[in-house]
């Protein structure tokens, strides 16, 4: 990484963002809907107040984001001509997750901006809207005023990066699936980031808003890919997803950015009565990653499955922070996160289950299992229960361990070399998470991405 002219050690790290914001606001004066301006202003003032969390903040005890606070990340410029080869390569990888299909919607974003030439949006009819957020803002899409930042901007310090995202909100995706409409193909949102700066640190703040109506059905794949940049780069995404009564939603977040990438993301789910959500967060890339999932099961009988798999190699740090809130009765939630940690990789998992006083008959379960493949890999796991109703079923379980010695021996006694036996057991561990994904191409691609990463690691063979 080359030297960074924007390093700000001595000053409040928030200040340069405030200056950027004034410039940004002026530049966007023309095309900003009147309702958005105050929302951005509130957001930037919250970010100014909350700033960058430190390990003294509850919720950040195990994740030091000094790297983010020490530099000033300017909004990334569009990719230049020279980026087109890199973009094509990244896109080819994204297509291995969800194959290109002229009849399926795909929106591609490069450095945070929608690129229509790389996107495919077949005519949907039935009132379905799939398009760029910038386009929707420009055409004064009415639904935006109602929903954009309604849930993802809370007066809560945990939302500090979400506030920064809202302040610099410019582009991303808007998806609306009206009442009763069932989409059978997944909508692929592809966020690519390529180096376009002259060695200064940059950020993108992609935003997704998805509203799935009553009895409607939709599946989303949000892929994040990047090339190695000349300087540190940060993706700070926010996805708001609202599922109305009895809607059925599958959401997949595939985070496979380059090994230097910094990534913070908030997934804000809002579920009304009997809505069914299945969320899969795969974190296989990035040097420092913090995924926040905040789901509110706001209606009676809402059901949320929250699956996650994270793989940290080298000295990478991956933090998954979940807050699942049960507001009404008969809700059900399942958190099932698994980590594979090797080299000096570190996984942090925090799963908070909040059961409000009216949420009787809540059934909430949480498990976090971590596999350590090297002596120096580490995992932290913290279940947190906050229960105000009396008739509920809440359980949690955590394991941190190595590969099972008896299983290894069994495989070797049948002829599998140590390395193969270890690989097979790691694959089995990952498989248990991946098999819940309904899209076969994603399952296959994730397994091969995981093995591409792990097989190069010496720890797969060295530690028994």
**Is residue 461 a contact point for other proteins (CB under 8 A)?**
no
Q: Which stretch binds other proteins (CB under 8 A): 10-18, 245-253, 257-265, 411-419?
A: 411-419
> With respect to other proteins, which residue has the nearer C-beta, 247 or 426?
426
Cα–Cα dist 192/158, whole Å: 26
Q: How far is CA 233 from the centre of its chain?
A: 16
What sections of 355-435 are H helices per DSSP?
A: 405-413, 418-434
Count of residues engaged in binding other proteins, rule: CB under 8 A = 24
Please state the closest distance from residue 84 (CB atom) to other proteins, in A.
Answer: 40
**What DSSP string runs through 207-237?**
EEEEEE-TT-EEEEEEEEEEPPPSS-EEEEE
Out of 35, 116, 198, 409, which residue is the one contacting other proteins (CB under 8 A)?
409
Cα–Cα dist 53/68, whole Å: 10
Please state the closest distance from residue 373 (CB atom) to other proteins, in A.
Answer: 16
CB 401 within 8 A of CB 370: yes
Please state the closest distance from residue 409 (CB atom) to other proteins, in A.
Answer: 6
Burial per residue of 192-220, b for 16 or more beta-carbon CB atoms within 10 angstroms, e otherwise: bbbbbbeebbbbbbbbbbbbbbbbbbbbb
> With respect to other proteins, which residue has the nearer C-beta, 49 or 419?
419
**Is residue 401 a contact point for other proteins (CB under 8 A)?**
no
**Is residue 411 a contact point for other proteins (CB under 8 A)?**
yes
Out of 45, 398, 407, 441, which residue is the one contacting other proteins (CB under 8 A)?
407
Q: Which residues pair with 34 in a beta bridge?
A: none
Q: Which stretch binds other proteins (CB under 8 A): 120-128, 163-171, 205-213, 400-408?
A: 400-408
Please state the closest distance from residue 437 (CB atom) to other proteins, in A.
Answer: 14
Closest CA to 83 of 235, 259, 227: 227
Please state the closest distance from residue 407 (CB atom) to other proteins, in A.
Answer: 5
Please state the closest distance from residue 442 (CB atom) to other proteins, in A.
Answer: 17
CB 169 within 8 A of CB 136: no
| Chain residues 425-444 in contact with other proteins, contact rule CB under 8 A | 425, 427-429, 431-432
**What DSSP string runs through 108-124?**
EEETTEE-GGG-B----
Assign residue 96 a region (left: φ > 0; alpha: ψ between -120 and 50; beta: otherwise). Answer: alpha
> With respect to other proteins, which residue has the nearer C-beta, 35 or 410?
410
> With respect to other proteins, which residue has the nearer C-beta, 218 or 430?
430
Residues engaged in binding other proteins (CB under 8 A)? 404-407, 409-418, 420-421, 424-425, 427-429, 431-432, 464
């Amino acid at each position: 990484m080359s030297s960074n002219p924007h390093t700000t050690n001595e000053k409040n790290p928030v200040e340069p963002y405030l200056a950027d914001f004034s410039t940004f606001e002026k530049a966007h004066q023309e095309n900003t809907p009147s309702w958005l301006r105050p929302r951005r202003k509130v957001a930037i003032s919250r970010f100014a107040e909350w700033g960058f969390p430190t390990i003294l903040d509850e919720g950040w005890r195990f994740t030091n984001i000094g790297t983010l606070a020490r530099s000033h990340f300017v909004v990334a410029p569009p990719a230049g001509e020279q980026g087109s080869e890199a973009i094509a390569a990244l896109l080819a990888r994204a297509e291995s997750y969800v194959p290109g299909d002229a009849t399926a919607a795909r929106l591609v974003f490069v450095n945070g901006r929608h690129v229509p030439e790389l996107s495919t949006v077949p005519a949907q009819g039935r009132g379905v809207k799939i398009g760029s957020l910038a386009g929707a803002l420009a055409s004064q899409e009415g639904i935006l005023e109602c929903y954009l930042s309604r849930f993802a901007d809370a007066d809560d310090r945990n939302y500090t990066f979400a506030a920064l995202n809202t302040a610099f909100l410019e582009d991303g995706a808007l998806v609306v699936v009206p009442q009763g409409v069932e989409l059978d193909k997944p909508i692929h949102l592809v966020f690519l980031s390529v180096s376009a700066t002259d060695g200064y640190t940059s950020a993108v703040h992609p935003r997704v808003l998805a509203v799935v109506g009553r009895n409607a059905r939709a599946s989303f794949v949000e892929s994040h890919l990047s090339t190695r940049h000349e300087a540190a780069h940060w993706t700070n995404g926010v996805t708001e997803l609202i599922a109305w009564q009895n809607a059925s939603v599958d959401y997949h977040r595939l985070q496979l950015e380059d090994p230097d990438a910094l990534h913070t993301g908030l997934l804000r789910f809002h579920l009304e009565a009997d809505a069914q959500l299945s969320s899969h967060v795969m974190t296989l890339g990035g040097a420092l990653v913090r995924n926040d999932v905040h789901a509110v099961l706001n209606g009676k009988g809402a059901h949320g499955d929250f699956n996650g798999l994270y793989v940290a190699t080298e000295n990478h740090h991956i933090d998954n922070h979940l807050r699942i809130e049960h507001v009404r009765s008969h809700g059900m939630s399942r958190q099932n996160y698994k980590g594979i940690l090797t080299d000096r990789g570190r996984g942090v998992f925090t799963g908070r289950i909040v059961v409000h006083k009216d949420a009787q008959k809540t059934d909430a379960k949480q498990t976090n299992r971590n596999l350590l493949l090297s002596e120096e890999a580490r995992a932290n796991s913290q279940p947190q229960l906050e229960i105000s109703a009396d008739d509920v079923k809440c359980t949690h379980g955590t394991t941190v361990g190595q590969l099972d010695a008896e299983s290894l021996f069994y495989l070797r006694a049948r002829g599998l070399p140590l390395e193969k036996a270890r690989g097979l057991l790691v694959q089995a561990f990952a498989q248990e998470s991946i098999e819940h994904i309904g899209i076969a191409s994603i399952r296959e691609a994730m397994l091969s991405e995981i093995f591409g990463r792990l097989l190069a690691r010496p720890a797969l063979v060295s530690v028994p």
